[in-house]
Amino acid sequence: MTMGRFTHQTRNPQPDISICEISFCAWVAQAAANDVLVYHRGFLAVDKDTPLAGLSPEEQRALRRLADAAFRAAEQGLIHLVQQRLATDRFAYLAIVRPKPRSGRSATHVQLLSAA
């Protein structure tokens, strides 16, 4: 199941926040190997931490939680994190699902949420 698409958007400088941390974790838990999700469009380092992005403090907190969840999933070997340049200072941030391990590890969603 592919929830995201590679799109080229240069006219809208605002970051695209369309998924929350919980939705992201649920997607990782049920996605098949090689599924791709565009979890953010913009410039993540700027968008999550500075007022330059034009986001409210709550939107920035939500984006930080989402970025942290993506990083945790990558650390656990569940996904690859990839960036695709869309324009100058604008990127698509992709999560690509790795094949699921065949070990007796606990469920993916439990691992992700417990790491938070």
Q: How confident is the model at residue 18 (pLDDT cuts 50, 70, 90)?
A: confident
Report the mean per-residue pLDDT for the chain: 81
pLDDT in tens, 41-97: 999 999 999 888 888 999 999 999 999 999 999 999 999 999 999 999 999 999 999
What is the pLDDT, as a whole number, of residue 113?
A: 58
Percent of the chain past pLDDT 90, that is, above it, reads 62
DSSP the chain: ----------S--S-B----HHHHHHHHHHPPTT-EEEEEEE-HHHHTT-GGG---HHHHHHHHHHHHHHHHHHHTTSEEEEEEEEETTEEEEEEEEPPPP-SSPPPHHHHHHHH-
Share of the chain above pLDDT 70, in %: 72
pLDDT of residue 100: 79
Domains of the chain, by residue range, sit at: 21-115
